[in-house]
Amino acid sequence: MRVVLGVSGGIAAYKACSLLRLFTEHGHDVTVVPTAAALEFVGAPTWAALSGKPVSTEVWTSVHEVPHVRIGQSADLVVVAPATADLLAKAAHGLADDLLTNTLLTARCPVAFAPAMHTEMWEHPATQANVATLRSRGAHVIDPAVGRLTGKDTGAGRLPEPEVLYAACLAIVEGGAPAPAEAPTRDLEGRRVVVSAGGTREPLEPVRYLGNRSSGKQGVAIARAASERGAKVTLVAATMTVPVPEGIDVVPVETTLELQRAVEEAADGADVVVMAAAPADFRPAAVSESKIKKSDPDGGLTVELVENPDIVRALVTARDARGGRMPLVVSFAAETGDAQGSVMDHARAKFARKGSDLQVVNQVGTDLTFGKDETTVHLMLRGSDEVTTVGPASKDAVADALWDTISPLLD
């Protein structure tokens, strides 16, 4: 399928990169046509690299090929994501002052718009009139999602997730219509949730430490999704490479022992504890007060390590000792296969040992899972032999799937 991906100048332009990847990874030929404003958010080299094609915003580039006519005429689908209020107004009134708006006028294939803007702009009578005009002409306007917008604002106007847009585009091409955006699920309203994220650091001396590759992306996605579903969220944050969403209480920690103390304190009265952090299994037995010098003539250094406590097992033991079923405890098993067993072999053994209610399993390694925007996980539920696989999908999609599984267990 030949797809024209139009991108207008909104902060949600970064999500269009993931939408582009979904198209190309499924074998579709994509031409990206951004507006000049869109390039203020995501540069032309990014679009060119992801699509494998040159990118232009003007009708004056390669004039001999008449791009403002040819691109639209040869497309099987034109989708604009995000579509700003300005772009919708231009399209509704037939304006054509750049390559994208010219393409919209020449396209005779299905055309879809995915609006993204602040709630006040989306609900303004002018925008709604423009949407009605476009729909009356046969264009598909995909309703925006409701959720967190730029800054602290929340409401209608959020660009749907790339997976949702991709599915809607396929439905449009196949002759159907995209499903209307649903109101956000608020199934965690009134719940208290604790999420840990990031990797711990175990100091060896004032400069060096033992750590891991965890970025905190998955934990932050889980915390954000819980907050959007109405929960009061505490994020116990070890070392992370991603910012923390607004409206979430943050407890910063560094070591595994600090992580344990913070999680146990936050878990008091919580409904769910999700241990998405990557705590170090071992720590140096002794921490040098000064930087260790290269004084050994043989160039070697021996470091004695001691085992860190199992935070999940301690949470489960303390809960069971109280005779209660709350908080629900969710563990993570980041595994690699080896001579002793596969990823799932090790995960099943860990699940039995820890006693958590739900375990999220993923395979990790160099350039795999840690720091990536997409992942594949396997969900193991206590008392069930069934394993549910989610992905490959964005970590936001995985977070929602996780809460879809957890929420019924709380009722």
* Residues tagged active-site: 212
Q: Please give the Cα distance from 253 to 258 (Å, whole number).
A: 6
CA dist., res. 314 & res. 279, Å (int): 14
d(CA 380, CA 390): 11
According to DSSP, the β-strands at 249-252 and 272-275 are unpaired
Whether 294 and 274 have beta carbons less than 8 Å apart is answered as no
SS3 336: coil
Strand 192-197 vs strand 111-115: parallel, antiparallel, or unpaired? unpaired
User: CB–CB of 117/83 below 8 Å?
Assistant: no
CA separation (Å) from 367 to 280, 372, 394? 19, 8, 16
Task: With CA atoms as reference, report the closest residue to 396 among 377, 368, 409.
Answer: 377
Concatenating the DSSP letter of every residue in 233-263 gives EEEEE-B-SSPPPTT-EEEE--SHHHHHHHH
Tokens of 256: 């595994």
| Residue 168, helix vs strand vs coil | helix
Q: Please provide the distance, in angstroms rounded to a whole number, between the alpha carbons at the two ends of the chain.
A: 45
CA distance 85 to 83: 7
Which residue bears the tokens 């040819």? 70
List Cβ neighbours of 111 (8 Å cut-off, separation of 6 or more): 77, 78, 79, 80, 104, 138, 139, 140
What tokens does 16 get?
A: 């269009």
Burial of 242: CB neighbours in 10 Å, binned 0-12, 13-18, 19+? middle
Q: What one-character DSSP code corresponds to residue 366?
A: T
Strands (E), 172-326: 192-197, 202-203, 209-210, 232-237, 249-252, 272-275, 282-284, 305-307
